[in-house]
Amino acid sequence: MAAIELNGVTKRYGDVVALRDVDLTVQEGEIYGFLGPNGAGKSTTINAILDFIDPTSGTVEVLGKDVSAENVEVRHRIGVLPEGFSVYDRLTGRKHLEFAIESKNADDDPETLMERTGILDAADRKAGGYSKGMAQRLVLALALVGDPDLLLLDEPSTGLDPNGARRMREIVREERDRGTTVFFSSHILGQVEAVCDRVGILRDGELVAEDSIEGLREAAGSDGRLSVTVDRVPDGVAEAVSAVDGVSDVSVRDHTLTVKCDDDAKTAVIDAVEGAGATVEDFDTEDASLEDLFVSYTEGRA
Amino acid sequence: MSWDVVARKDFADAVRSRGLWALSALFVIVFALPPLLLFYLELGQGRPAQTEGSTDVFIFFIKEASALLVPVIAIVVAYAAITHERESGTMKILLSLPHSRRDVVTGKVLGRSAVLAVPIAVGFVFALLVMLPTSLALNLANLVLFALLTMFLGVVFVGIAVGFSAAFSTSRRAMIGSLGLFMLFSFLWNYAVNTVVGELDLGAAAAVRTRLLFKLLNPTQAYKTLVDTLVLDTTREARVTMFSLFQQQQVDQQLPSTLPVQFSDPLVVGYMLLWFAVPVGLGYLAFRDAEL
B165 or A293: which carries more pLDDT confidence?
A: B165
Q: Is the pLDDT of residue A13 over 90?
A: yes
List, for residues A78-102, the tens digit of each pLDDT value: 999 999 999 999 999 999 999 999 9
What are B103-131's pLDDT values in tens digits?
999 999 999 999 999 888 888 888 888 88
Among the partner-chain residues B16, B93, B99, the one whose CB lies closest to the CB of A85 is: B93
Q: Stretch A54-61: mean pLDDT, rounded? A: 96
Contact A103 B292 (CB under 8 A): no
ipTM of this complex prediction, to 2 decimal places? 0.89
Contact assignment for A104 to B98 by CB distance below 8 Å: yes
Q: H helices within chain A, ranges in order?
A: 42-49, 71-76, 93-103, 110-117, 132-143, 162-177, 189-193, 213-219, 237-242, 266-275, 290-298
Alpha-carbon span B95 to B245, nearest angstrom: 53
Chain B residues with CB under 8 Å of A85 CB are 89-90, 92-93
Q: Given A53, A80, A95, which is nearest B96 (Cβ)?
A: A80
pLDDT of B50 above 60: no
A11: closest chain B residue by CA: B291
Sign of CA dihedral B200, B204, B206, B211: positive
pLDDT score recorded for residue A79: 97
Best CA proximity match to A103, nearest among A135, A126, A77, A83: A77
**Residue B170 contacts by C-beta under 8 Å, 6 or more apart in sequence?**
B83, B87
Lowest pLDDT segment from A63-72, A129-138, A270-279, B205-214? A270-279
- pLDDT at position A302 is 41
Which residue from A54, A88, A90 is facing B291, i.e. has the nearest CB? Answer: A54
Express as a percent the part of chain A with pLDDT over 70. Answer: 94
Residue A121: CB partners within 8 Å, gap ≥ 6? none
pLDDT at B46: 56
What's the rounded mean pLDDT across residues A35-58?
Answer: 92
Contact across the interface for B89 and A86, Cβ inside 8 Å: yes
Record the pTM: 0.85
In angstroms, the separation between the Cα of residue B180 and the nearest Cα of chain A is: 29
Nearest chain A CA: its distance from B10 CA (Å)? 10
Using an 8 Å Cβ cutoff, are A33 and A83 in contact? no
